[in-house]
Amino acid sequence: MTISEDLQGRGLRATPFREELLSLLRAEGLPLSHQEIQGRFREKVDRVTLYRNLELLRTHGLVHQVQGLDGAWRFCAHDVSGPGCPGNHVHLLCVVCGRMECLVDQPLPRVAVHEGFEVEGKQLVVYGCCSGCREKKTSQGEDGTC
């Protein structure tokens, strides 16, 4: 299914900006902040336009968000059958550099829910130290733990 078909299938107009935004998030494969997204566009992007479109894509199930250590929201493409992240997955968050990755093959724990509560999605953030930060600490003569 093309990005245009995904947008139209959710009742959204397939504008060039939305197509490029969704394509960028799918290609990146990891959660990006607003600033990171703006920096990856070929042309200057109006911040308000970016925020509005991310929120629109989120409310229509094409993008999901997760909060980083700095409090900034990061966004991933929600694409169960394609290159983006499925909605129910684990995020790995480095407590040193703040880099966040999607771990899509890791099953989430089962959660008992109260009667009458309808689950729309699950998300888990695991905090730790990425391999790059551990290697950096080791090369600086430290033990490599964060």
Binding site membership for Zn(2+): which residues? 94, 97, 130, 133
What residues are paired with 102 via a beta bridge? 91
Q: How far apart are CA 70 and CA 114, in angstroms?
A: 32
Binding residues: 94, 97, 130, 133
Beta strands 123-128 and 63-67 are unpaired
Task: Give residues with Cβ within 8 angstroms of 125, minimum separation 6.
Answer: 66, 67, 90, 91, 93
Residue matched to tokens 């997760």:
66
